[in-house]
Amino acid sequence: MSFQSAIRLADLKSGRFTKAEVSGVDLCFTIRKGTVVCLENSCSHMGLPIDRAEIESDGSFECPWHGFAFKLEGGICKTYPVYKIRTFETKVEGDEVLVDVGEGSQGD
């Protein structure tokens, strides 16, 4: 695994996404129940960005473009489970959120 600095922990807000790019990969981050969650900023349905989505209290969100519903955990589409957004492993060191965008990514 190769973790890289992505964003400051203080920049994350529960209930919304924060965008960042790491090694050419467009990502969006949020914090849920004290855990940093990272997804590729691309709906698996049409490839459009998801960072404008509002995250519900149950950890789900809808693509702002076509309304497909997804779960934060695992990036699984609730509307059509054949679609899945790639998720990435994160860790926090001090105020820095690190992410592994290499082959160790989940959801490939």
Q: Average pLDDT for residues 12-23, to the nearest whole number?
A: 95
- Residue-wise pLDDT for 35-83, tens only, equals 999 999 998 878 899 999 999 999 999 999 988 999 999 999 998 999 9
Confidence of residue 1 (pLDDT cuts 50, 70, 90): low
- Whether residue 107 is predicted with pLDDT greater than 80 in this model: the reply is no
**Overall CATH class of domain 3-100:** mainly beta
pTM: 0.89
Distance CA 91, CA 68 (A): 28
Q: Which amino acid type is present at position 26? A: D
The whole-number pLDDT of residue 102 equals: 83
No. of helices (H) and no. of strands (E), the chain: 0, 9
